[in-house]
C-alpha cells in the first residue's frame, strides 16, 4: 500500500538558517502585549503582514517577476511553522499568501499577475475564499451563485458565506456560469471579485464566542469586468480542487491548539502519572504530525501527487487540535475561563474554537470519504 | 527510500511473499519450527545485515523489520538482527543461526578469571528455545557489557517454554553459574538499550502487521456482498477503514523517524514516539479489521488472526504505550512549555533530552 507511505524528508540546512532568522525577527517584532482573546491565527495586523512582506516571507515560492522570491516550499514551510508556533498575527495576509496568489499565478491573466500578486507579496493585498454558500457546504458542487455574460462583462447574483470578506480586498469565488448538464462539476468557473464593486453587501456573522469570524456576502446584480474570469470558463471545479490542495496541507492544520499544549506542559507535574502519560501521547502525536506534514510538503516540492496523504494529515491534525482542549479540561482540575489560571483561560478560548477545526477547509467526513475512495473503496 | 533500502525491501518481500504461506503459519501454530525458511534467510544474509561490518543502518533494515510483521514471519529474525548488532558493536565473534537478546538486569554477573558467571532467571525471553546464541547485556560498573552464551552452555540450567498470544516462544531461562563464552564492552548511548531497541523492532513490525490486516480488510470490503452491494460501499465501513489507514500512515512516519535516530544519542525519544504511535495504530487496526471481516475473520481458518494476534502481543512487549508515553510526558513537562517547540524542531542528534531527572542534573 504505497499510498500510505510518506517518503521521509529532512529539512536542508538553509531551512535551519532561515528558522534562526525568523526566530530572531519574531523575538523583536512579535507584539508581546496583545491580549489573547481570539482564536489562534485569527489576529488581523496589516502592519505585521507588511513587515513579513518586507522580509521576503510572503509569496516566497512565486516567480520574482510577480514580486515573489523563488524560494522552495520547504523554506516557506519553516517560516509558516515558526509563525504559527507563536500564534503570530497572520490573519490579514494568510489566505492570499496560502492559496489566492497561487491561483492567480496559475490561472490568472497576466494583468492580475503583475498588478495584484506583487501587492500580496508585500503584505498589502488581502483575499478571501468564496466557495461555501448557505445551501452548499460539503456538497460544494451544489452552489447556486450564478454569473451570466452581459455586454459589460459578467452579471453576478448569489450569496457566499463563512468567508473572511471583512478583512479582504478581493474574493476568488466559485460560481455557476453554465447550467449543470450531465455532471454537476461542469459549468462552474472561478471569478476574481473586487469587493468594492457596487452591489456587494458584506454582513458580518458572529461566531459562537461572539466575535466576528466570518461573513455572509450578497451579490445583487453585481457587474464585473469580462477579464475577471480566472482560468478557463467551465474549469472551476478542477481549479478549486487545486486550491483546496493548498488549503488542506499546511502546518496550520495541526498547530491551532499548540499554545495550549505548551501551557499544559508548564502547568503539569512530571510526577503526576496521569498528566505525564496523556501529555506524552500528545507530544508523540505532535512530533509525528510534523514529520508527516514535512514529508507531504516535500512531495509537493518534488511535484509528486500526494494522493490521500493531504486528507490524512488534515484529518489527524484537526483531531489532535481538538483533543488538546479536551485533555486540558480532563487533566487539570480547573474551571474553564477562571481568570486566576492562564491555562483555564486559554483552554476556554481553545475549546470554543475547536469545533471549527474539523469543518473549515473540508469536513472530517468529507476527507474520510476522499481517503476511502483513494484506497479503492466505493 | 534509498537504493539500498529499496534493494533490501524488494528482495525480502519477494522471499517472504513466496515462502511464508498458510502452510508455514499453520505448522508453526502446531509447534513446527520453519527450519527451511531460516536457511533461506541465512543464505540471503538477512540475519546479519545490521552487523557493523555490513555498513547498513537501522533505516536500511526497516523494510526487513516491517516485512516480519507484514508476512508474520514465525522466526526470531528481529531478535537475531538485534543480538548480532550488539555483538558486532562489541567486537564479539560472528555467529550464524538464530540468536536472541536478554536484558541482564535480572541476572547476577560475577567476575571470575577474566570472564563473568551469570546466575538468575530471565523471563519471557523471545525465541529462547530456538536461539543458538544468547546476547546478554549487563550493566557492570556503569558500563554496558555484552556477554554471549551459546545454546549448549552447561550453565543454562533450564529453559521453560512459554508463548505470547501469537504462539511465538517467550521462554523462561534459568542460568546457574553460567560462564560467558565471550564478553566485551559495548558503547551504547542509551539508558535501557534492550527495552529501547526491543521496542523499536516491535514498533516497526507492528506497522507491517497493521498494514497487512488493513490490506486484507480493504480487499474483503470490496468483495463481500450484503444488502446487494459490496460492504465497502457503506460509509460506516469506509470511514472506519480511512481512519485506520491514517493511523497506520502516522505510525509508518513515526517508525521511520525512530530508525533514523536509532544508534544515536537520545534515540529513545523517537523510539518512544514510534512505539506509542505504532501501538495505537495497530490495536485500532486489529479492532476495525476484525469488525469488517465479520464472523469469518473470527475463525482459525481465516488468515486475519495471524496478523491481529501478533499485534495484541507485540503492543505490550518492551513497554506498553502508556509506559513510553509517560516517559515522554515526564521529560516534556520537565523541559517545560517554552522548550517544546525548540525541542520538536531540533535535530535529534543535538537534543539534550534526558530520560530521568537524576541524569539531567549531572
Ligand atoms: C471557521 C470557519 C471558516 C471558514 N472559512 C471559509 C471560507 O473562508 N470560505 C468558504 O468558502 N468557506 C469557509 N468555511 C466553510 C467550510 O468550508 C464549511 O463549513 C464546510 O465545507 C462544511 O460545510 P457546512 O458547514 O455547510 O456543513 P454541511 O456540509 O452541512 O455538513 C454538516 C455535517 O454533515 C456532514 N456531511 C455532509 N455531507 C456528508 C456526506 N456526504 N457524508 C457524510 N457526512 C456528511 C459534514 O461532515 C458535517 O459533519 C469556513 C468554516 C468555518 C467553520
Tell me the pLDDT tens digit for each residue of B161-175: 999 999 999 999 999
Same domain, B184 and B197: no
What's the confidence (pLDDT) of residue B151? 97
Same domain, A370 and A255: yes
What's the confidence (pLDDT) of residue A248? 83
Q: How many residues does chain A have?
A: 378
Same domain, B208 and B135: no
Are the beta carbons of A1 and B322 separated by less than 8 Å?
Answer: no
Chain B's closest residue to A370, CA to CA, is B242
Are the beta carbons of B250 and A288 separated by less than 8 Å?
Answer: yes
d(CA B180, CA A59): 65
Q: What is the CATH number of the domain that holds B130?
A: 2.40.110.10
Domain assignment of residue A4, yes or no:
no
User: Is the pLDDT score of B362 beyond 80?
Assistant: no
Q: Is A24 on the interface with B (CB under 8 A)?
A: no
Same domain, A187 and A302: no
User: Is the pLDDT score of A35 beyond 70?
Assistant: no
Domain assignment of residue A322, yes or no:
yes
What's the confidence (pLDDT) of residue A350? 96
d(CA B97, CA B81): 11
Same domain, B209 and B170: no
Q: What residues of B are in contact with residue A269 (Cβ under 8 Å)?
A: 333
Domain count, chain A: 3
Domain assignment of residue B84, yes or no:
no
The pLDDT of B300-310, averaged and rounded, is 97
What's the confidence (pLDDT) of residue B358? 37
Backbone angles phi, psi at A22, to 5 degrees: -65, -40
Task: Tell me the HSE value of A192 on the side-chain side, using a 13 A CA sphere.
Answer: 26
CA A139 to ligand 1 centroid distance, Å: 8
Domain assignment of residue B308, yes or no:
yes
Confidence of residue A291 (pLDDT cuts 50, 70, 90): very high
**Which among A23, A105, A26, A28 has a CA at the least distance from the CA of A65?**
A105
Domain assignment of residue B349, yes or no:
yes
Higher-confidence residue of B3 and A13: namely A13
Q: Where does a domain end: B173, B188, B203? A: B188
d(CA A175, CA A127): 17
CB within 8 Å of chain A, chain B residues 225-254: 232-233, 235, 237-239, 241-243, 245-250, 252-254
What's the confidence (pLDDT) of residue B150? 98
What is the residue-averaged pLDDT of chain B?
94
Q: Which residues contact A210 (CB under 8 A, 6 or more apart)?
A: none
Domain assignment of residue A133, yes or no:
yes
Same domain, A110 and A143: no
Domain assignment of residue B86, yes or no:
no
Domain assignment of residue B284, yes or no:
yes
Same domain, A152 and A114: no
Same domain, B274 and B300: yes
Q: Where does a domain end: A75, A102, A125? A: A125
Confidence of residue A33 (pLDDT cuts 50, 70, 90): low
The pLDDT of A21-43, averaged and rounded, is 83
Percent of chain B residues past pLDDT 70, beyond the cut: 95
User: Is the pLDDT score of B22 beyond 60?
Assistant: yes
Backbone angles phi, psi at B180, to 5 degrees: -65, 145
The pLDDT of B81-95, averaged and rounded, is 96
What's the confidence (pLDDT) of residue B267? 93
Percent of chain A residues past pLDDT 70, beyond the cut: 99
Q: Is A261 on the interface with B (CB under 8 A)?
A: yes
Same domain, A69 and A84: yes
User: Is the pLDDT score of B349 beyond 50?
Assistant: no
Determine the structural domain holding residue A213 and report its residue range. Answer: 129-235
Q: Whole-structure pTM over 0.90, yes or no?
A: yes
In a mutational test of the pocket of ligand 1, which residue from A40, A363, A369 has the highest number of ligand atoms less than 8 Å from its CB?
Answer: A363
Domain assignment of residue A53, yes or no:
yes
Min Cα–Cα distance to chain B from A228, Å: 39
User: Is the pLDDT score of B356 beyond 70?
Assistant: no
Q: Where does a domain end: A98, A125, A152? A: A125
Same domain, A230 and A259: no
Domain assignment of residue B153, yes or no:
yes
CB-closest option in A270, A285, A371 to B330: A270
Confidence of residue A36 (pLDDT cuts 50, 70, 90): low
Domain count, chain B: 3
Q: Where does a domain end: A176, A203, A235? A: A235
User: What atom of ligand 1 comes closest to residue A95's alpha carbon?
Assistant: 8
What's the confidence (pLDDT) of residue B352? 42
Q: What is the CATH number of the domain that holds A171?
A: 2.40.110.10
In angstroms, the Cα distances linking A302 to A9, A275, A337, B2 are: 11, 41, 46, 16
Give the distance from CA B95 to its chain's centroid: 21
- Predicted confidence (pLDDT) per residue in B166-213, tens digit: 999 999 999 999 999 999 999 988 889 999 999 999 999 999 999 999
Q: Which residues contact B196 (CB under 8 A, 6 or more apart)?
A: B190, B267, B268, B271, B318
Determine the structural domain holding residue B128 and report its residue range. Answer: 97-188
Same domain, B269 and B129: no
Q: Which residues contact A201 (CB under 8 A, 6 or more apart)?
A: A217, A218, A220
Asked if this assembly's ipTM is beyond 0.85, the reply is yes
What's the confidence (pLDDT) of residue B359? 39
User: Is the pLDDT score of A209 beyond 50?
Assistant: yes
Domain assignment of residue B91, yes or no:
no
Q: Which range, of A83-92, A241-250, A342-351, B108-117, averages the lowest pLDDT? A: A241-250
Q: Is B58 on the interface with A (CB under 8 A)?
A: no
Same domain, A263 and A368: yes
Are the beta carbons of B273 and A7 separated by less than 8 Å?
Answer: no
H-run or E-run covering B143: strand B143-150
- Predicted confidence (pLDDT) per residue in B129-159, tens digit: 999 999 999 999 999 999 999 999 999 999 9
Q: How many residues does chain B have?
A: 362
Same domain, B257 and B301: yes
Q: Where does a domain end: B171, B188, B205? A: B188
What's the confidence (pLDDT) of residue A41? 87
User: Is the pLDDT score of B354 beyond 50?
Assistant: no
Domain assignment of residue B325, yes or no:
yes
What's the confidence (pLDDT) of residue B335? 96
User: Is the pLDDT score of B220 beyond 80?
Assistant: yes
Q: What is the CATH number of the domain that holds A92?
A: 1.10.540.10
The pLDDT of A151-160, averaged and rounded, is 98
Amino acid at each position: 500500500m504505497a499510498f500510505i507511505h510518506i517518503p521521509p524528508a529532512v529539512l536542508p540546512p538553509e531551512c535551519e538558517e532561515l528558522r534562526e532568522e525568523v526566530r530572531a525577527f519574531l523575538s523583536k517584532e512579535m507584539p508581546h502585549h496583545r491580549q489573547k482573546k481570539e482564536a489562534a491565527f485569527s489576529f488581523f495586523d496589516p502592519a505585521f503582514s507588511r513587515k513579513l512582506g518586507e522580509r521576503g516571507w510572503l509569496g516566497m515560492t512565486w516567480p520574482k517577476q510577480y514580486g515573489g522570491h523563488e524560494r522552495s516550499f520547504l523554506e516557506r514551510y519553516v517560516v509558516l511553522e515558526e509563525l504559527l508556533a507563536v500564534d503570530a498575527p497572520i490573519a490579514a495576509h494568510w489566505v492570499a499568501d496560502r492559496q489566492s496568489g497561487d491561483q492567480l499565478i496559475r490561472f490568472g491573466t497576466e494583468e492580475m499577475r503583475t498588478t495584484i500578486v506583487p501587492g500580496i507579496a508585500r503584505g498589502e493585498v488581502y483575499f478571501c475564499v468564496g466557495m461555501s454558500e448557505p445551501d452548499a457546504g460539503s456538497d460544494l458542487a451544489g452552489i447556486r451563485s450564478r454569473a451570466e455574460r452581459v455586454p459589460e462583462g459578467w452579471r453576478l447574483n448569489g450569496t457566499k458565506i463563512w468567508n473572511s470578506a471583512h478583512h479582504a480586498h478581493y474574493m476568488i469565488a466559485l460560481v455557476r456560469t453554465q447550467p449543470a448538464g450531465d455532471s454537476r462539476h461542469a459549468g462552474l468557473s472561478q471569478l476574481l471579485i473586487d469587493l468594492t464593486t457596487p452591489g456587494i453587501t458584506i454582513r458580518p456573522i458572529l461566531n459562537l464566542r461572539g466575535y466576528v469570524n466570518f461573513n455572509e456576502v450578497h451579490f445583487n446584480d453585481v457587474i464585473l469586468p469580462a477579464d475577471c474570469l480566472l482560468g478557463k470558463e467551465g474549469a472551476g471545479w478542477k481549479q478549486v480542487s487545486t486550491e483546496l490542495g493548498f488549503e488542506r496541507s499546511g502546518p496550520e492544520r495541526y498547530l491551532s491548539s499548540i499554545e495550549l499544549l505548551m501551557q499544559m506542559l508548564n502547568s503539569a507535574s512530571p510526577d503526576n502519572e496521569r498528566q505525564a502519560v496523556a501529555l506524552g501521547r500528545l507530544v508523540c502525536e505532535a512530533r509525528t504530525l510534523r514529520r508527516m506534514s514535512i514529508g507531504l510538503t516535500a512531495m509537493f516540492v518534488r511535484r509528486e501527487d500526494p494522493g490521500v496523504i493531504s486528507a490524512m494529515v488534515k484529518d489527524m491534525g484537526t483531531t489532535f487540535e481538538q483533543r488538546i482542549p479536551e485533555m486540558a479540561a480532563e487533566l487539570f482540575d480547573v474551571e474553564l475561563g477562571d481568570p486566576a489560571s492562564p491555562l483555564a483561560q486559554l483552554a476556554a478560548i481553545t475549546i470554543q474554537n475547536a469545533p471549527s477545526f474539523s469543518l473549515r477547509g473540508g469536513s472530517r467526513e468529507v476527507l474520510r470519504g476522499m481517503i476511502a475512495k483513494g484506497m479503492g473503496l466505493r | 527510500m534509498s537504493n539500498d533500502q529499496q534493494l533490501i525491501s524488494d528482495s525480502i518481500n519477494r522471499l517472504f511473499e513466496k515462502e511464508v504461506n498458510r502452510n508455514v503459519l499453520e505448522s508453526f501454530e502446531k509447534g513446527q519450527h520453519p527450519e527451511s525458511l531460516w536457511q533461506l534467510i541465512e543464505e540471503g544474509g538477512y540475519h546479519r545485515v545490521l552487523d557493523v561490518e555490513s555498513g547498513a543502518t537501522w533505516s536500511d533494515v526497516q523494510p526487513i523489520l516491517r516485512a516480519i510483521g507484514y508476512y508474520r514471519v514465525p522466526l526470531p529474525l528481529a531478535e537475531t538482527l538485534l543480538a548480532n548488532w550488539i555483538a558486532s558493536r562489541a567486537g564479539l565473534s560472528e555467529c550464524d543461526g538464530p540468536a536472541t537478546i536478554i536484558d541482564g538486569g535480572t541476572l547476577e554477573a560475577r567476575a571470575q578469571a577474566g570472564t563473568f558467571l551469570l546466575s538468575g532467571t530471565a523471563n519471557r525471553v523471545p525465541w529462547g528455545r530456538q536461539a543458538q546464541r544468547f546476547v546478554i547485556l549487563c550493566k557492570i560498573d556503569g558500563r554496558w557489557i555484552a556477554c554471549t552464551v551459546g545454546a549448549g552452555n552447561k550453565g543454562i540450567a533450564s529453559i521453560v517454554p512459554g508463548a505470547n498470544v501469537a504462539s511465538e516462544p517467550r521462554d523462561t531461562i534459568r542460568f546457574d553459574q553460567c560462564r560467558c563464552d565471550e564478553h566485551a564492552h559495548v558503547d551504547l548511548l542509551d539508558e535501557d538499550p534492550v527495552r529501547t531497541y526491543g521496542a523499536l523492532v516491535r514498533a516497526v513490525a507492528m506497522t507491517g502487521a497493521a498494514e497487512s490486516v488493513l490490506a486484507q480488510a480493504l480487499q474483503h470490503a470490496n468483495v463481500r456482498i450484503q444488502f446487494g452491494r459490496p460492504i465497502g460501499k457503506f460509509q460506516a465501513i469506509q470511514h472506519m477503514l480511512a481512519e485506520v489507514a491514517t493511523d497506520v500512515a502516522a505510525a509508518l512516519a513515526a517508525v521511520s523517524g525512530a530508525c533514523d535516530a536509532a544508534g544515536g544519542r537520545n534515540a529513545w525519544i523517537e523510539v518512544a514516539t514510534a512505539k506509542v504511535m505504532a501501538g495505537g495504530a495497530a490495536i485500532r487496526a486489529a479492532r476495525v479489521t476484525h469488525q469488517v471481516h465479520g464472523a469469518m475473520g473470527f475463525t482459525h481458518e481465516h488468515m486475519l488472526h495471524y496478523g491481529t494476534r501478533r499485534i495484541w502481543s507485540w503492543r505490550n512487549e518492551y513497554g506498553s504505550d502508556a509506559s513510553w508515553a509517560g516517559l515522554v510526558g515526564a521529560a516534556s513537562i520537565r523541559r517545560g512549555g517554552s522548550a517544546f517547540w525548540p525541542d520538536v524542531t531540533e535535530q535529534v542528534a543535538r537534543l539534550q533530552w534526558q530520560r530521568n531527572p537524576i541524569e539531567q542534573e549531572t
